[in-house]
Amino acid sequence: MPHVFKIYKQKNGEFQAAFEYNGEKIFWTEGYSSKASAKNAIESIKKNGPDASVDDTTD
């Protein structure tokens, strides 16, 4: 599967959610104190992401 959300446990004990394409991290979240919070972040991205606008600040 080329697209996948993954949850990592960082060295400091926090959980981080990441979106990967072909094994490369495309974006990731902040660290969360619980795995449930990381899962909630993934669900929020899946729910709200398709309607997100693009803010091009390079102009």
Give buried/exposed letters for 2-33 (b at 16+ CB in 10 A, else e): eeeeeeeeeeeebbbbbbbeeeeeeeebebbe
Strand-pairing partners, residue 36, are: none
Tell me which residue range forms the domain holding 31: 3-46
56 found inside a domain:
no
Residues 5-9 have a mean pLDDT of: 96
Sign for the CA dihedral angle at 33, 37, 42, 47 comes to negative
53 found inside a domain:
no
- Output the domain CATH number for residue 12: 3.30.160.160
Residue 55 has pLDDT above 80, yes or no: yes
Q: Are 5 and 19 in contact (CB under 8 A)?
A: yes
pLDDT digits (tens, 9 = 90+) for 30-54: 999 999 999 999 999 999 888 889 9
Whether this model's pTM surpasses 0.85: no
In degrees and rounded to multiples of 5, residue 36 shows phi and psi of: -60, -40
